[in-house]
A = this chain, B = another copy of it.
């Protein structure tokens, strides 16, 4: 339930506390907010964020948001605007189409997509909060047509990152509360007197936030549980060692538990990349984090030929896969499990983090085996449609009645039989 910078700052991963202890603490925190509402939320915020609030000061005011926007560098605001526009353009293409068709029997079938009414966006606090992540979550929700988008962001010691507020403003988020941790997730899921509940909660957070999301799943929808960031680079002898080393370190600097892996069939490149990583680490501001990540989770894997990289890549199922080979498209087509692929030497993953247009919220910890990056689909849902007339019911009814009876569900059969004068 903690939401101070130490816990919520830069880490996208789980802390090292035993998972069960975290889950039990989270249970109490969530339960308390579910039962006592604002009072529990305010007490937890005072305790973990060292911030005394009352219900009227929970919400970040329009004036604060305006002041935050003014406090940002114009160049940064321009870059955020470019990012927003490109994310919006990309995600508009994801809008799903409704379907309606009539089958040979005359049965009308189909489905219809609608936006989720309300969504909550969790944003980690601390100094290294990510305004880009605000856009990556808010823009798809807006494109989907979510009418109420609520943001919660912890404000340890009362501090808020102006860039996060500016990104919210650019993303069209106006309802923002200065709370974080499991208590904020609980408030979004259960609602309090001040914060109306939402239907779905998205966004990354620390281990307490992840545990709280897992706990409220079912009452509300949640997105994936985010783990530490990962990159897998697949390169042949055409690869530029300096560029590859820079990309490996760009992932490693996120978190000491981030993972960067190079798979190559070139022993020359493997050696050069290892040297380049060491050299570049020397001048990196976040060298402590990046070198811990590289030492503990980094790897250079030699393969006989690039074909051998494919089953390895599928087993690793990395969040990000960069392919720097003579024919990157051909190799990418053979990989099944990857959150995102970045093709060719001029597509560093950092472009995708910010301004490529695709979403940077991607499956981590091998979950690319079964899940996808955040998209417009995460903010919409599908209602299926079925329509029979008397003829269609006559054609299909008897088989349905047979199955109803076989399953011991006589009222199912009867609901059809009554209409067909068969019961």
Give me the interface of A with B, judged by CB distance under 8 Å: 10, 20, 27, 73, 75-76, 78-80, 82-83, 86, 89-90, 93, 99, 101, 103, 107-109, 111-112, 114, 116-117, 127-128, 130-132, 163, 199-200, 214, 217-218, 220-221, 224-225, 227, 242-243, 246-247, 249-250, 252-254, 280, 284-286, 290, 314, 328-329, 332-333, 335-359, 362-363, 365, 367-373, 375, 377, 381-390, 392-393, 396-397, 399-400, 402-404, 406-416, 418-419
Contact = CB atoms under 8 A, between A and B. Distances in A.
Contact of A338 (B80, B250, B383): B383
Contact of A340 (B246, B386, B412): B386
A16 to B, nearest CB: 17
A125 to B, nearest CB: 14
B343 A387 contact: yes
B352 A386 contact: yes
A370 B116 contact: yes
Contacts of A285: 408, 410
A369 B117 contact: yes
Closest 10 CB pairs of A and B: A221-B370, A343-B387, A372-B382, A246-B415, A79-B399, A350-B412, A358-B384, A354-B400, A199-B369, A253-B411
Nearest to A323: B387
Contacts of A284: 410-411, 414
A71 to B, nearest CB: 12
A358 to B, nearest CB: 4
Given A218-B225, A381-B371, A415-B243, A350 B404 contact: yes
A341 B253 CA distance: 50
B93 A99 contact: yes
Contacts of A280: 411, 414
A341 B386 contact: yes
Contact of A217 (B225, B402, B413): B225
Nearest to A407: B130
17 contacts: A79-B399, A109-B358, A111-B358, A116-B370, A217-B217, A221-B369, A221-B370, A249-B411, A253-B409, A341-B384, A343-B387, A347-B393, A350-B416, A351-B388, A354-B412, A368-B383, A377-B377
Given A217-B225, A354-B399, A369-B381, 7 more contacts: A200-B370, A253-B412, A280-B414, A341-B383, A343-B387, A351-B393, A351-B397
A339 B347 CA distance: 41
B217 A370 contact: no
B350 A400 contact: yes
Contact of A415 (B99, B349, B403, B412): B349
